[in-house]
Amino acid sequence: MTLHAPYDPNNIFAKILRGEMPCVKVFEDEVALAFMDVFPQTEGHVLVVPKSLEARNFLDLPEAFVGGYMLRVQKVARAVEAGLKPDGLRVIQFNGAPAGQTVFHLHFHIIPMRDGVAMGAHASGGMKSADELEPIAARIRAGF
């Protein structure tokens, strides 16, 4: 996929936003949806996606939307920190397949890090169920 290919409205995050696929939500408002990554790289790995627009990556995000969306990314990162008490946080965003992007709907990863615990490769631990993710999500929601 190139950096500027057309948006695919059938990507998994678009389906989640339309309610066609389930997710374990930690935050939602009119601007963004944050949910647990089902292939977490660490415990508490959250994704924050913008709503109501078709942006494949950060370069596609309209300037008028940047500030509001980034405030939500920060709000969710703060909730992850408050709810899970990690030693550090990675806030990561990829643009294009060569950069590591695998779902072509703009999203930020919020990945809690613990001293001495390596971050796993994407999908290396297998897919987690909603039952496994919900208790972690509840701790994050409590951080808001």
Which are the catalytic amino acids? Answer: 107
Separation between Cα atoms, residue 140 and residue 59, nearest integer Å? 29
Is 72:31 a contact under the CB 8 Å cutoff?
A: yes
Separation between Cα atoms, residue 57 and residue 116, nearest integer Å? 32
Question: If you write DSSP's letter for every residue of 53-102 in order, what string do you get?
Answer: S--SSGGGS-HHHHHHHHHHHHHHHHHHHHHH--SEEEEE---SGGGT--
Strands 88-92 and 25-28: unpaired
Separation between Cα atoms, residue 110 and residue 132, nearest integer Å? 18
